[in-house]
Amino acid sequence: MSRPRARSLVLCAAALALAIITQRGLAQSPAADPDAQARAAFLTVHRVLTSPRCRNCHPRGDRPLQFDDGVPHAQDISRRSVQNGMPCSTCHRDRNGELPGQPPGAPHWGLPPASAPMVFEGKSPRELCEQLKDKQATGGRDLPALLEHIEKDPLVLWGFRPGPGRTPVPVPFAQFTAATRTWVARGGPCPE
Concatenate the DSSP letters of all residues of 30-80 into one string: GGG-HHHHHHHHHHHHHHHHTSHHHHTTS-SSSS-EETTTTEEPGGG-SHH
Interface residues with ligand HEC (CB under 6 A) are: 48-49, 52-54, 56-58, 64, 66-67, 73, 75, 77, 82, 86, 88, 90-92, 101, 103-104, 109-112, 118, 132, 137-139, 141, 146, 149-150, 155-156, 158-159, 166, 169
Measured from the CB atom, the residue of 104 and 188 that comes closer to ligand HEC is: 104
Measured from the CB atom, the residue of 111 and 179 that comes closer to ligand HEC is: 111
Residues whose CB is less than 8 angstroms from the CB of residue 14 and which lie 6 or more positions away in sequence, other chains included: none
Phi/psi for 4 (5° steps) reads -60, -35
Q: Do 56 and 71 contact (CB within 8 A), yes or no? A: no
Residue 28: CB minimum distance to ligand HEC, A: 30
Residue 160: CB minimum distance to ligand HEC, A: 7
Residue 60: CB minimum distance to ligand HEC, A: 14
Residue 17: CB minimum distance to ligand HEC, A: 47
Measured from the CB atom, the residue of 95 and 141 that comes closer to ligand HEC is: 141
Whole-number Å distance between alpha carbons of 24 and 48: 32
Measured from the CB atom, the residue of 33 and 130 that comes closer to ligand HEC is: 130
Q: Do 160 and 152 contact (CB within 8 A), yes or no? A: no
Measured from the CB atom, the residue of 7 and 108 that comes closer to ligand HEC is: 108
Whole-number Å distance between alpha carbons of 105 and 21: 55
